[in-house]
Amino acid sequence: MAIVPEDLKTGSVFLNDDGELVIIDQTQLPNREEYLVLRTKEEIYDAIKRLAVRGAPAIGICAGYAMYVLAREKASLSPEQFMKEMREVGEYLNSSRPTAVNLSWAIKRQLGVIGADPSRCAEEQIDLLRGEAFAIHKEDIEMCTRISEYGLTLVKPGDGILTHCNAGPLATSRYGTSIGPVLLGKERGIDFKVFADETRPLLQGARLTSFELFRAGVDVTLICDNMASMVMKNGWVQACFVGCDRIAANGDFANKIGTSGVAILARHYGIPFYTLGPTSTIDMNCPTGNDIRIELRDPDEVRSMWYKEPMAPEGVKCYNPSFDVTDHELVTAIVTDRGIVYPPFDVNLAKLFA
């Protein structure tokens, strides 16, 4: 039996007491709260690919646990064969969502545990992988708490905050990143008014962000993506908080498709625009946003996914990028677990890792 600390039975990804990987199936929310037990590399790959588990930090936590869970079936292998097969597992899982840097980061971290002493027997390696997976999860809880604390200093009670996609507890471990300050503020009796973009085509804002905030008692208003300009023009928004899936060394960042449009609108209306994320999301080996690979997804997510009947002519072409890249010049600041980073980002992000 695997011993799981009580404080790590939180968020949308965790181990049960049998050492099995469990996720909340985010594709079923808000109507059904279903849990999936993932036992094979194919099940884990599929869960990441189809967004049953999503959000950069949650994907990283999932990857950390996945490497442990999948290692357990290799306990009888020699040290050399164990290392070889775990590298293959890592490469396979990493191909499921190439844009999210936390996925590759967590896999590399677990492979580093094995590689620190490749001569160790498989049983020893498996115990170490479990401990490292717990460490990844715990660190994310701590990082999200610090991000939320820093973000809370950027707004005042009663402010209107616009957010895009979902970067709450479902996408992380606790509080979240972009809506973390809102949830932490709520705990402390500080109220905000949140405008949640529905976030086409997968509706993470409608299905997940409004679900989390409404359940927490936050004053949340769901809007279609193309209504953001109107609520900004009306003076209802004092700050934009969004998450991030990969931050380049110059401050450009990838986030859910539509984020860059929010940043452009915010600049036009003079509204501060912040991205919030853990330092594990910063890729200093990625010079600019032009170097971020953008995942293209199934056109049917646009044509027919949420409709009883298709809402576009059969055979019409669709362009469905999962992310876009927001230029660093549109970003007021990047809120991390190590502090708030202001321009020039190429200089100040590097200082985080000095």
Tens-place pLDDT, residues 204-237: 999 999 999 999 999 999 999 999 999 999 999 9
| 40-44, 52-56, 84-88, 218-222: range with lowest mean pLDDT | 52-56
- Identify whether 245 is a catalytic site residue: yes
Q: Is pLDDT at 1 greater than 50 in this prediction?
A: no
**Nearest residue to 144 (alpha-carbon basis) of 304, 334, 279, 321:** 279
pLDDT of residue 8: 80
Give the pLDDT band of residue 2 (cuts 50, 70, 90): low
The two counts, helices (H) then strands (E), for the chain are 12, 14
Q: Which residue has the higher pLDDT, 267 or 2?
A: 267
**C-alpha 168: how far from chain center:** 9
| 63-72, 98-107, 149-158, 332-341: range with lowest mean pLDDT | 98-107
Give the domain 154-352 fold: Rossmann fold (3.40.50)
Distance CA 351, CA 340 (A): 12
Distance CA 249, CA 254 (A): 12
pLDDT of residue 309: 93
CATH 1.20.120.420 boundaries in the chain: 6-144
Distance CA 143, CA 175 (A): 10
Distance CA 70, CA 349 (A): 35
Mean pLDDT of the chain: 94
Cβ contacts of 288 within 8 Å, gap of 6 or more: 248, 249, 250, 252
Per CATH, the number for 6-144 is 1.20.120.420
Give the pLDDT band of residue 281 (cuts 50, 70, 90): confident
CATH 3.40.50.10470 boundaries in the chain: 154-352
Q: Residues 140, 197, 225, 245: which is the catalytic one?
A: 245
Answer whether 172's CB lies under 8 Å from 11's CB.
yes
Q: What percentage of the chain exceeds 90 in pLDDT?
A: 88
Element (H, E) at 39: none
pLDDT of residue 57: 86
Give the pLDDT band of residue 265 (cuts 50, 70, 90): very high
Q: How many CB atoms lie within 10 A of CB 221?
A: 15
Element (H, E) at 319: none
**Nearest residue to 62 (alpha-carbon basis) of 25, 117, 99, 113:** 25
